[in-house]
Amino acid sequence: MAIASGAIVLLILLFLIWETLPILQIIGLARFFNDPAWHPTSEEFNLVPMLWGTLFVTVGSILIATPIGILSAVFCHYYAPKAIANLYRRAIELLAGIPSVVYGFWGLVVLVPIIGRIHPPGPSLLTGILILTLMILPTITLVADASLASVPSEYLRGCASCGLGRWATVRGVVFPAAKSGLITGVILATGRAIGETMAVLMVCGNVVQTPKDIFEPVRTLTANIALEMAYAVGNHRAALFVTGLVLMVMIIALVIAAELLNKGHIYEQ
C-alpha cells in the first residue's frame, strides 16, 4: 500500500500516454506546435495559443499575488495587532476554501461586466488573471505565514537592538531568512495557477488565439480540455490527452524544481 500514491501517479501517466500514444505515433509531437491552427476535427492540432494562454494567466496572477500574499503574511506577523492578525488569517483560510467554480461564477457575473465596461468584450486575460490572483493568494500567504513564523526571534531582537524599523527588519533580515519558504509558496501557487480549470474557463472567453493585450479573450490548456472533452472522439480525444500530458509535464517539472531548491517535500507546510 505504501506504493499506492506512487502507483496512482504512474497510473495517471500511463493512461495519459496510453491514450496519446496512437496519435503521437501517427502524427508526432511536433505538429502540436507547428500546425497552422487548432481545428482538431479537421486534424489541426496547434496547442501554442493555449500554451501562451496558460503562461500569461499564470505569470500575470503570480506577479500580482506574490507581493500581495507575502505582504499579507508580513501583515499578520509584524504589523497587525494579534486579534486582527487572527481574523485576517481566518479570512485567508476562507478564501482558500471557496471552490473554484464559485470564483468562476462570481467572476462571470460580477467582474466580467465591469471589465467589459472598461474595455469590451469583458471575458479576457485580465479577468482570468484577477480571479486567479484571488485564488492562489491564500496558498502564497499561508505558506509564507508558516515560514515567517519559523524566523528565529533572535534575529528580530538583533534588528530591534540596532534601532531598525519594522520594514527595515522585514526587508533586510526576515526576507533573507525566510527566502526558501517564500519561494516554495510561490512554486506551489504556480502549480495551482497552471492547473486551475473552472474559474479560468468561466471568465477567460476561451477564444483560441495568442492575446495581443490583456483585454483579449484567451483559452488555457485546462479550459481546452474541459470545453471539448464532452464530445471529443478519436484523434480529437487523443489530442486533448496530449494537452493533459503537457500539463502533467509542467507540474512534474515544478515539483522537481522545488525539490532541488528545498531538498525537502514542498506540499508540506
Partner 1 sequence: MTKQITTNTGNPPSIQTDQLSLFYARKSAFKDVTLSIKSGSITALIGPSGCGKTSFLTCLNRLTELTPNCQISGRILLGDQNLQTLNVISLRRRVGMLFQKPNPFPLSIIRNIEFPLREHGVRNREEIDHIIEVALQDVGLWDEVKDRLKTPALSLSGGQQQRLCLARAIALKPDVLLMDEPCSALDPLSSEVVEDLITKLRLKYTVIVVTHNLAQAKRIADHVAVFWFQDGAGKLIESGSVAQIFESPQHTLTAAYVTGRTG
Partner 2 sequence: MKYKTPYPELLSTAIIWAIAASVTGALLWLLSDVFWHGMSQVNWEFLTQSPSNAGREGGIAPIIVSTALIVGVCLVVSIPLGVGTAVLIAEFAANKSILGRLVRLSLDVLAGVPSIVFGLFGNAFFCKTLGMGFSILSGGLTLACMVLPILIRSTQEGFRAVPDDYRRSAAALGVSRIATLWELLLPAAMPGVAVGLLLGLGRAIAETAALIFTSGYVDRMPESLWDSGRSLSVHIYDLAMNVSGGEANAYASALVLVSFLVLINSAISWLAQRFRQSKILVV
| Phi and psi torsions of 28, nearest 5° | 80, 160
Cβ proximity to partner 2, 125 vs 247, nearer residue: 247
Scanning the structure block, which residue is given the C-alpha cell 500574499?
69
| Residue 202 near which of partner 1, partner 2, none (CB within 5-8 Å, type-dependent) | partner 2
Confirm if 132 and 177 have CB atoms less than 8 A apart: no
Angle at 158 between CA 157 and CA 163, to 5 degrees: 90
Cβ proximity to partner 1, 180 vs 235, nearer residue: 180
- Four-point Cα dihedral 167, 159, 144, 57, nearest 10: 40
Minimum separation from the CB atom of position 157 to partner 1 (A):
6
Q: How far apart are CA 202 and CA 128, in angstroms?
A: 9
Minimum separation from the CB atom of position 252 to partner 2 (A):
6
Q: How far apart are CA 94 and CA 3, in angstroms?
A: 33
| Residue 157 near which of partner 1, partner 2, none (CB within 5-8 Å, type-dependent) | partner 1
| Residue 162 near which of partner 2, partner 1, none (CB within 5-8 Å, type-dependent) | partner 1
Interface with partner 1 (CB under 8 A): 82, 153-165, 168, 172-173, 176-177
Angle, in degrees to the nearest 10, between helices 48-74 and 221-228:
120
Cβ proximity to partner 2, 48 vs 80, nearer residue: 80
| Residue 48 near which of partner 1, partner 2, none (CB within 5-8 Å, type-dependent) | none
Cβ proximity to partner 1, 96 vs 173, nearer residue: 173
